[in-house]
Amino acid sequence: MRYVIHRLGFFVLSLWAAITINFILPRMMPGNPADAMFAKFQGQLTPAALDAMKKAYGIGQSNLWHQYIDYLHGLFTFNWGLSFMQYPTPVSDMIKASVPWTLGLVGIATLLSVFVGTTLGVYISWKRKGLLDNTLPVVSMIFQAMPYFWMALLFVFIFGFKLNWFPMSHGYDPAITPGFNGTYLSSVLSHAFLPGVTLLLGSLSGWIVGMRNNMINTLGEDYVTFAEAKGVSSSRLMFSYAARNAILPQLTSFAIAIGNVVSGSILTEQVFSYPGIGNQLTSAVTSQDFPMIQASFLLIAVSVLVANLIVDLLYSRLDPRIRTGGLRNEG
Amino acid sequence: MKAEITPSAQQNVKSSFHLFSALKVLKPFFTNAKSATGFIIFLVFLLTAIFAPLIAPYSPSAAIYDPNLAPTAHHWFGTTNTGQDLFSQFIFSARNTMIVGFGAGILSTIIGLIFGVIGGYRGGITDAILSFITNLFLVLPGLALLIVIEAYLKASTPYVNGLIIAFTGWAWGARVFRSQTMTLAGRDFISAAKMSGKSSLRIMITEICPNMMSIIAGNIMFATLGAILAEAGLAFLGFEDINSTSWGTMLYWASSNSALLRGAWWWFIPPGVGIALVGLSLVLMNFAIDQITNPRLKVQKRRKQHGRKAARS
């Protein structure tokens, strides 16, 4: 229970920190970007929009504390401002439109990569010095060293441009009207295939190598040797004895993994012009759409924090030592 | 800090004086095919970076050649649509990428050491605060944070980007250093150092850090890899000065001039291969460090036979 409270406390504190970073960054940058931005948009936007912008970035207001309270209030009432680029579309509407794309793409790719990677890791640790054990780590190292977005560019070039197997960009064929029917869904799937494979391959290696090393450590434990001497069948030894314990440290590396996948997806979405949240963030930055930048960064940060909280809580369910506080500082 | 950048130089210098002892330390780099490959790739790129002005046949920025050339005898990697020589760009990019990568990798390792070692050694409230900051930076999505910072900075140079990358990407190292420091802090030699009246700062620098040199070296490898990838990603998205010379910027220009749709593979393949090869060399060398420091990965021959036996039965 203490562990759960501890994790919840960390979650709340880090949430607060993310929100505050989002508030402070535009205000502490050299050369006051808010002023520059304001000058840039003068004449382009309606007076009402300029007023809202002034308020949002504290131009003409001196009290930082008031700005902060206003900012927090707007945040929790889902009043995230209006996009500059697609004025007067509320930022929250644009976010709502792009979240399902990223969630579907990143979510499915991550789950698949955890599952496939962990299984492969178990397999190659069992078949030590086999063909797969010698080649897979090297192959996965190459994937680890390769930039996600470059791999995405290669896929676009080979499978989109040369072979014409898959579409090269966008979330679905713009000629099809979105709806819950076969043509639309198959269009979505074929458009998601290449970006999905990019994310899968990019993150797979970490899970394989991590699981392999955990397995090797676990297989060296006395209780495994004992079970083996006792005559436990090898598949049971592998999965019920070794893999079950080796999988725990995998969960702790989830924090860094999910961050990598999100980073990878920002770049991948850009390559494929995929209509997700990462693409929104980058195009908002290029077009200096500050409300959109703030909202999409916050959303990305919060979803990563929530994913981590879920994993942490799951971890305490799976590992009783955590709940009793027996294994605080390992790993 | 110098040990990992110039293992080659060290090896050359040492080999003439203490041939045997030096070879013993570096043996794992060469007995293992993987790490030897990594080491050689790394050397090639290091030399390319150092001697870039001598190797590159032309200026990387001069737009004076025939545009849109496929690779020819004069332009090994072809030219851009404005007539810049891609091979020269590739060579000079190696230099920037290595400087930014290792600069950011080493700087973030130093920041990680400060947070990790102090937190792990002091414990208590200091540790609580430092580990909170560490964990916070660990969970915040790095690239998104970098992009947002870039949004307010606008078109920064590769070096500025290196700094930002280091200041946002040190957390993983700090966590590893912290747990290692905590295991070291209870050892007898630390108590002995305390008894002899050494200050905490001296103990941290002269007792704890040298005892986790391999972890530090491994961390520099990974931090450098992360920095190279992050810098390339930022440059590719166009959030770096687009007139700078780096592999990421090359990819940015390639994709914004739709090199993909024109089939100009010579424009976007080499920069990616460059990044991947440097990255691979780092991962491979780290593999060697892993093999040295984690004996369990090696001892597993015994395990293998057991496994076979169990599988047969």
Residue B99 contacts A where some CB pair is shorter than 8 Å: no
Residue B265 contacts A where some CB pair is shorter than 8 Å: yes
What percentage of chain B exceeds 70 in pLDDT? 81
In B42-71, the residues whose Cβ lies within 8 Å of chain A are: none
pLDDT at B19 over 60: no
pLDDT in the model for residue B105: 94
User: Mean per-residue pLDDT for B137-147?
Assistant: 85
pLDDT in the model for residue B313: 37
Burial A14-41 (b: 16+ CB within 10 A, else e): bbebbbebbbebbeebeeebbeebbeeb
Place B107 in a pLDDT band, splitting at 50, 70 and 90: very high
Q: Cα A15 to the chain's mean position, in Å?
A: 16
DSSP state letter for B69:
P
DSSP state letter for B187:
S
Place A327 in a pLDDT band, splitting at 50, 70 and 90: very low
Mark out the alpha helices in B32-157 (DSSP H runs).
33-50, 52-55, 86-122, 124-139, 142-153
Of B140, B152, B311, the CB nearest to A26: B152
pLDDT in the model for residue B312: 40
Q: Cα A48 to the chain's mean position, in Å?
A: 36
Contact of B96 with B244, CB cutoff 8 Å: yes
pLDDT in the model for residue B26: 63
Place B112 in a pLDDT band, splitting at 50, 70 and 90: very high
Contact B296 A142 (CB under 8 A): no
pLDDT in the model for residue A228: 85
**Residues contacting residue A271 through CB under 8 Å, at least 6 positions apart:** A149, A152, A153, A156, A195, A198, B255
Place A87 in a pLDDT band, splitting at 50, 70 and 90: low
pLDDT in the model for residue B111: 95
DSSP string, B130-147: HHHHHHHHHHS-HHHHHH
| Amino acid residing at A236 | R
User: Mean per-residue pLDDT for B211-237?
Assistant: 89
| Å between A203 CA and nearest CA of chain B | 14
User: Mean per-residue pLDDT for B6-16?
Assistant: 45
CA distance A328 to A300: 29
- Work out the burial of residue A119: count CB atoms within 10 Å of its CB; fewer than 13 is exposed, 13-18 middle, 19 or more buried: middle
Contact B272 A220 (CB under 8 A): no
User: Mean per-residue pLDDT for A87-108?
Assistant: 83
Candidates B134, B205, B125, B127; CA nearest to B176 is B134
Of B143, B238, B279, the CB nearest to A286: B238
Of all residues in chain B, the one with the smallest CA distance to A290 is B151
* Top-confidence range, A179-188, A255-264, B43-52: B43-52
Taking the CB of residue A74, how many other CB atoms lie within 10 A of it? 15
What are φ and ψ of residue B85, in 5° steps?
-80, 120
pLDDT in the model for residue B8: 46
**Residues contacting residue A137 through CB under 8 Å, at least 6 positions apart:** A124, A208, A209, A212, B287
Task: Encode pLDDT of A268-326 as tens digits.
Answer: 888 888 888 888 888 888 877 777 888 888 888 888 888 888 888 887 787 777 666 54
User: Mean per-residue pLDDT for A222-247?
Assistant: 85
pLDDT at B311 over 60: no
Ramachandran sector of residue B69 (left: φ over 0; alpha: ψ -120 to 50; beta: rest): beta
Contact A220 B300 (CB under 8 A): yes
Contact A262 B287 (CB under 8 A): no
**Residues contacting residue A48 through CB under 8 Å, at least 6 positions apart:** none
Contact of B278 with B101, CB cutoff 8 Å: yes
Mark out the alpha helices in chain A (DSSP H runs).
2-28, 33-41, 47-57, 64-76, 91-126, 131-145, 148-155, 182-219, 222-230, 234-236, 244-252, 254-272, 277-286, 290-318, 320-324
* Top-confidence range, A35-44, B46-55, B67-76: B46-55
Domain limits, chain A:
2-76, 93-318
CATH code of A93-318, in short, is 1.10.3720.10
Comparison of pLDDT for A95 and B23, the residue scoring more: A95
Contacting residues of A for B230, CB less than 8 Å apart: 263
pLDDT in the model for residue B199: 87
Place B220 in a pLDDT band, splitting at 50, 70 and 90: very high
Candidates A117, A128, A240; CA nearest to B311 is A128
User: Mean per-residue pLDDT for A48-74?
Assistant: 71
User: Mean per-residue pLDDT for B53-79?
Assistant: 73
Q: Which residues pair with B144 in a beta bridge?
A: none
Match 């406390």 to its residue by tokens: A9
Of all residues in chain B, the one with the smallest CA distance to A28 is B152
Cα distance from N-terminal residue to C-terminal residue, chain A = 21
Residue B164 contacts A where some CB pair is shorter than 8 Å: no
CA distance B22 to B29: 12
| Å between A316 CA and nearest CA of chain B | 18
Contacting residues of A for B263, CB less than 8 Å apart: 161-162
User: Which of A79-88, B90-99, B177-186 shows the lowest per-residue confidence on average (mean pLDDT)?
Assistant: A79-88
pLDDT at B75 over 80: no
pLDDT in the model for residue B114: 93
CA distance B116 to A204: 29
In B105-134, the residues whose Cβ lies within 8 Å of chain A are: 132
User: Mean per-residue pLDDT for A61-73?
Assistant: 76
In this prediction the ipTM stands at 0.80
What percentage of chain A exceeds 90 in pLDDT? 1
Residue B263 contacts A where some CB pair is shorter than 8 Å: yes
Contacting residues of A for B148, CB less than 8 Å apart: 22, 25, 281, 285, 293, 297
Beta strands per DSSP E along chain B: none
Task: Encode pLDDT of A186-205 as tens digits.
Answer: 888 888 888 888 888 888 88
Rounded mean pLDDT of chain B? 79
Cα distance from N-terminal residue to C-terminal residue, chain B = 51
Q: Which two tokens stand for residue B299?
A: 């001892």
* pTM, full prediction: 0.81
Contact of B89 with B134, CB cutoff 8 Å: no
pLDDT at B2 over 50: no
Place B300 in a pLDDT band, splitting at 50, 70 and 90: very low
Report, in this order, helix, strand and coil percent for chain B, each rounded to 5: 75, 0, 25
Task: Encode pLDDT of B164-184 as tens digits.
Answer: 999 988 988 998 899 889 888
- For A3, half-sphere exposure in the C-beta direction (CA atoms, 13 angstrom radius) is 20
3-class DSSP assignment, residue A76? helix
pLDDT in the model for residue A59: 61
Candidates B64, B184, B172; CA nearest to B121 is B184
